[in-house]
Structure 1
Amino acid sequence: MTTPRDTNPSRRSRANGDGTVYQRKDGRWEAAGYVLAVGDTRKRVRVYGTTRKEALAKLTEKTATSNRGVPMVSVHDSLAAFLTYWLENVAVHQLRENTHTRYTACVNRYLIPGLGKKKLAKLAAKDIRTWLNELRTVCQCCARGIDAGRKPDAQADHRPRCCAIGKCCRKQLSPLTLAYIHSVLKSALEHAVREEEIPRNVARNVRTGTPRPRRFEPLTADEARIFLSAAQSHRLHALFELALRTGLRKGELLGLRWEDLDLAGGTASIRRTLQRTSTGGLTTLPTKTLSSERRIALPTPCLRSLRDHRDQQTREREKAGRGWKESGQVFTRPDGHPIEPATLTRHFKALLCRAGLRQIRFHDLRHSTATLLLEQGVELVVIKEILGHAHIGVTATVYAHVRLRLQRDAIDLLGHVLRDPAETTSKPDDGGDPHLCAAPVR
């Protein structure tokens, strides 16, 4: 004997905990059920679809996510709850560990104290713009109590200098930091749009302005020659020479393995980078971006220094004996263990002092490579491939000041060509250097 429930599958009742599905008066289908919420609580969510199957599929997806222990955030929750959910359940799977650490610090230090009490659904572009304008003018020593928390040290005379003595030092955030905070908020709200929690990303309607790129002080050609000469006596001379001649990043140099080098063919394959993370310690990771994974040509001096370094490493391996840590990496400590990035920085600073050069960052060696290549007339697209930039616009923006100087030199040469011959005094040709108007314009 059949029953109405057997003859109409769409009207079958669902088991306890599966939620409900029904058709609304406007024709849409609505599915509702309980899922895990922030704070280990449960709340009822509603999803909609044009068909019963579509609405049920959406509810099943949210229920499955809840069963995996991932809490669900709704528009009625605060921005602080959503940002915490986003960091712990979304961004942690999409970002590198160091990047995720910086995002977490940005959220906990600025976004949650400033906008955390706002409801996700009621957050407006005006709220973000007003908060950013206030953040731009607030002294960070005052806001975070940095100066008041310093312990006086009689030997170093580190006494409070700011709000603790009633005098503000006006230590404000840089435009670059403000742009970074804004970008983190945009990334979080973009996920809320994809999850259909909010209709639009209101942070995209706020303009913070384009901050000026960070100033760097690359080595001049004379300073570069002095640096290479001083590095010859250093144990890691091959690393420093490779850094200046190819522009490799610090992590790419430390993550380089012998299997990545083709000394016979004179090439190197950049596939990985070495970084220190808070959980894994020194960890080998893929390159920064897909474009950073590249193959570059090695200059002849680097090939010679790399062969000498390989012989030196063989002697160190024999000397260390059983204490040698085999990793296959090109640049290691004398016992074979990988080199700490901070340790390399200390070696670099000491080398600059010994060479009598001004103090610069290790990353400025990379900028020095690009600057010197540009000054020699190398095409921008070639420099982009050598450095491993994702877009040529990055190369053009970072080194815009160099290109402007080259343009000025070219225009000056053109001015010599267009100068009135009556204004110049002709001299007999003695067969020496060519006249300026005959110099090629690159």
Structure 2
Amino acid sequence: MTERQRTRQPNGASSIYFGKDGKWHGRVTVGVRDDGRPDRRHVERKTRAEVTRAVRELERLRDEKKLRKPGKAWTVKTWLEHWVEALGEALRRGHIPTNAAEIAKAPRLEEEEIEPYTIEEVQSLLLQASKRRNSARWVIALALGLRQGEALGLHWEDIDLETGYLRTRKNRLRPKYAHGCGGDCGRKAGYCPEREQVRREYKSTKSRAGRRTIGLPDPLIKLLRRHLEEQERERIAAGDAWQGTGYVFAQPDGSPLVPNTDYHHWKELLQLAGVRDGRLHDARHTAATVLLLLGVPDVVVDAIMGWEPGGSARMRSRYMHVTGPVLKNVARQVGDALWSSPDTNRDGN
């Protein structure tokens, strides 16, 4: 049959042809692979009409940029969006009477109760942190409430010790590795002796609330100055092995801290301080609670913590600018609350 004769299509055009296996086949160019070759997708059906519909669907998904890349698994979010859209299309075509996704009731999520550390517990943590390397790392978490990625992503260019400000502009990413041995070592990629880093170290903070300026309490400024001096001594000791990455909190050779290692250091600190076990994120909740107990206005707390509008922190509908004097006043209050001794607090009462 002339209908089944395969004709050559222009480069990049979709093609439909009848195969020797007795089925209709379609091929659609949807992009370019990582190795530079064309990404051609294949579909097969029993009839020409069916394969034509399948080809047109691939072309539509390609044009709407909804096709996943070769070898890249879909996320749960992608699958949900795919099936919700498919159910909607089935309803429009009359294949189903109702769209179950539209009438389904989403499960209610129970929010975990926040239990921040007390001032006494914070002071115990600060005491133990002062005996450890990178002690300022934990002071920043407990006093300023920086997220782990924000704290580990800090560079010295983000801190002004003269004026007493800190700017959050980067987020440290968890490392992702690939085998450098071709998989011959028999281990997971992260433990390969020749492993290669395939993910960048950090990404820039995109949200307006995430990019924020925070005032530094005076005791923290002094601590950061000492930390800078200690890091300079480590640089001299490391010599040519020093990696000048510019991170505020780094390993002894200047390379960035690994988030997973940072997490285990937090757990060790809790044990040494004799404080109940908790998540690293609980340090952030503690900082927010301290600010609220000090009577700091909600809008200022939102700006310091980097909470997005519409979140659980009573943020305003739009971001409001926080002036320097207010930030410095808050920093002074936090410093007085966290670095005063328990005896002083009792005497004051």
In the superposition, the TM-score normalised over structure 2's length comes to: 0.62
Q: From 280, 285, 295, give the equivalent of 2:213.
A: 295
Matched with 2:261 is 343
Is the alpha carbon distance of 1:236 and 1:292 closer, same or farther for their aligned partners in structure 2, counting shifts above 3 Å?
same
> In structure 1, how many angstroms separate the alpha carbons of the residues matched to 2:68 and 2:145?
30
Is the alpha carbon distance of 1:218 and 1:197 closer, same or farther for their aligned partners in structure 2, counting shifts above 3 Å?
same
Q: Does 1:211 align with 2:109?
A: yes
- Give the aligned residue type for 1:221: I
Q: From 6, 9, 25, give the equivalent of 1:17.
A: 9
Is the alpha carbon distance of 1:277 and 1:237 closer, same or farther for their aligned partners in structure 2, counting shifts above 3 Å?
closer
Matched with 1:142 is none
> In structure 1, how many angstroms separate the alpha carbons of the residues matched to 2:219 and 2:286?
17
Asked whether the equivalents of residues 87 and 101 of structure 2 are also in contact (C-alpha less than 8 Å), the reply is no
Q: Does 1:261 align with 2:171?
A: no
Asked whether the equivalents of residues 166 and 213 of structure 2 are also in contact (C-alpha less than 8 Å), the reply is yes
- Once the two structures are TM-superposed, the CA of residue 359 in structure 1 deviates from its matched residue by 0.8
- Once the two structures are TM-superposed, the CA of residue 384 in structure 1 deviates from its matched residue by 1.8
Asked whether the equivalents of residues 257 and 328 of structure 1 are also in contact (C-alpha less than 8 Å), the reply is yes
Measured against aligned partners, the alpha-carbon deviations of 1:416-436 in whole angstroms (never above 9, x if no partner) come to xxxxxxxxxxxxxxxxx9xxx
Asked whether the equivalents of residues 16 and 52 of structure 2 are also in contact (C-alpha less than 8 Å), the reply is no
- Once the two structures are TM-superposed, the CA of residue 92 in structure 1 deviates from its matched residue by 6.7
**Two-structure CA RMSD over aligned residues (Å):** 4.1
Counting only pairs closer than 5 Å after superposition, residues 144-223 of structure 1 correspond to structure 2 as 185-189=79-83, 203-223=101-121
- Once the two structures are TM-superposed, the CA of residue 230 in structure 1 deviates from its matched residue by 2.0
SS of 2:231 mapped into structure 1:
helix
Asked whether the equivalents of residues 247 and 365 of structure 1 are also in contact (C-alpha less than 8 Å), the reply is yes
Q: Does 1:274 align with 2:172?
A: yes
> In structure 1, how many angstroms separate the alpha carbons of the residues matched to 2:16 and 2:259?
45
Q: From 363, 370, 374, give the equivalent of 2:281.
A: 363
Asked whether the equivalents of residues 331 and 339 of structure 1 are also in contact (C-alpha less than 8 Å), the reply is yes
- Once the two structures are TM-superposed, the CA of residue 246 in structure 1 deviates from its matched residue by 1.0
Q: From 16, 26, 47, give the equivalent of 1:43.
A: 26
Is the alpha carbon distance of 1:247 and 1:204 closer, same or farther for their aligned partners in structure 2, counting shifts above 3 Å?
farther
Measured against aligned partners, the alpha-carbon deviations of 1:51-79 in whole angstroms (never above 9, x if no partner) come to xxxxxxxxxxx8665995264999987xx
Matched with 2:246 is 328
Matched with 2:307 is 389
Unaligned runs of 5+ residues in structure 1 are 1-14, 19-31, 45-61, 94-99, 108-182, 398-432, 434-442
Measured against aligned partners, the alpha-carbon deviations of 1:252-282 in whole angstroms (never above 9, x if no partner) come to 1111101111111211221111122434256
> In structure 2, how many angstroms separate the alpha carbons of the residues matched to 1:35 and 1:16?
10
Q: From 223, 236, 240, give the equivalent of 1:318.
A: 236
> In structure 2, how many angstroms separate the alpha carbons of the residues matched to 1:392 and 1:234?
38
SS of 1:243 mapped into structure 2:
helix
Measured against aligned partners, the alpha-carbon deviations of 1:164-183 in whole angstroms (never above 9, x if no partner) come to xxxxxxxxxxxxxxxxxxx5
Matched with 2:137 is 239
- Once the two structures are TM-superposed, the CA of residue 206 in structure 1 deviates from its matched residue by 2.2
Counting only pairs closer than 5 Å after superposition, residues 77-88 of structure 1 correspond to structure 2 as none
> In structure 1, how many angstroms separate the alpha carbons of the residues matched to 2:67 and 2:304?
30
Is the alpha carbon distance of 1:262 and 1:202 closer, same or farther for their aligned partners in structure 2, counting shifts above 3 Å?
farther
Give the structure, 1 or 2, with the largest relative contact order (CA under 8 Å, sep 6 or more).
Answer: 2
Q: Does 1:69 align with 2:43?
A: no
In the superposition, the TM-score normalised over structure 1's length comes to: 0.50
- Once the two structures are TM-superposed, the CA of residue 386 in structure 1 deviates from its matched residue by 1.4
> In structure 2, how many angstroms separate the alpha carbons of the residues matched to 1:355 and 1:228?
9
Asked whether the equivalents of residues 167 and 213 of structure 2 are also in contact (C-alpha less than 8 Å), the reply is yes
Asked whether the equivalents of residues 158 and 168 of structure 2 are also in contact (C-alpha less than 8 Å), the reply is yes
- Give the aligned residue type for 1:284: Y
> In structure 2, how many angstroms separate the alpha carbons of the residues matched to 1:249 and 1:16?
57
> In structure 2, how many angstroms separate the alpha carbons of the residues matched to 1:206 and 1:271?
40
Counting only pairs closer than 5 Å after superposition, residues 359-438 of structure 1 correspond to structure 2 as 359-396=277-314
- Once the two structures are TM-superposed, the CA of residue 215 in structure 1 deviates from its matched residue by 3.5
SS of 1:276 mapped into structure 2:
coil
- Once the two structures are TM-superposed, the CA of residue 377 in structure 1 deviates from its matched residue by 2.4
Where has structure 1 moved over 6 Å in runs of 4 or more?
A: 72-77, 190-194
Unaligned runs of 5+ residues in structure 2 are 1-6, 18-23, 44-50, 94-98, 178-197, 316-347
Is the alpha carbon distance of 1:75 and 1:184 closer, same or farther for their aligned partners in structure 2, counting shifts above 3 Å?
farther
Moved more, 285-294 or 267-276: 285-294
Moved more, 358-367 or 67-76: 67-76
Query: Percent same amino acid at aligned positions?
Result: 33
- Once the two structures are TM-superposed, the CA of residue 355 in structure 1 deviates from its matched residue by 0.8
- Give the aligned residue type for 1:339: L
Asked whether the equivalents of residues 169 and 205 of structure 2 are also in contact (C-alpha less than 8 Å), the reply is yes
The structure having more radius of gyration, on CA atoms, is 1
Is the alpha carbon distance of 1:187 and 1:357 closer, same or farther for their aligned partners in structure 2, counting shifts above 3 Å?
same
Asked whether the equivalents of residues 243 and 255 of structure 2 are also in contact (C-alpha less than 8 Å), the reply is yes
Moved more, 284-293 or 267-276: 284-293
Q: From 291, 296, 304, give the equivalent of 2:222.
A: 304
Asked whether the equivalents of residues 155 and 248 of structure 2 are also in contact (C-alpha less than 8 Å), the reply is yes
